[in-house]
Amino acid sequence: VIYDNVVKQNTPRGAVETIFLSILSRRPTVDERTLAMKEIEQAETPAAGCGNLIWGLLNTREFMFIQ
């Protein structure tokens, strides 16, 4: 799956950057990066944390506006 590749090829910080750029076409703010990295680190696996982040970003108003 896509986020498995993102996790394997990046640090948590790199994964967050890649996910934000891919979904919202922008880099995360400092607060967003902090929360996203915490989610990845506290999830059962890093891949699960990235999946949660992706799901969350796909359900934001910002993403719906981009679409």
pLDDT tens-digit readout, 15-52:
999 999 999 999 999 999 999 999 999 999 988 999 99
d(CA 65, CA 61): 6
Q: What tokens does 52 get? A: 């949660």
Name the region of 25 (left: φ>0; alpha: ψ -120 to 50; beta: rest). left
Q: What would the mean pLDDT of 2-22 be, rounded to a whole number?
A: 81
Encode 23-39: b = buried (16+ Cβ within 10 Å), e = exposed: bbeeebeeebbeebbeb
pLDDT computed for residue 61 by the predictor? 83
Give the lowest-confidence range in 2-6, 17-21, 43-47, 53-57. Answer: 2-6
d(CA 18, CA 4): 12
Predicted TM-score of the model (pTM): 0.82
pLDDT computed for residue 32 by the predictor? 96
User: Is residue 3 over pLDDT 90?
Assistant: no
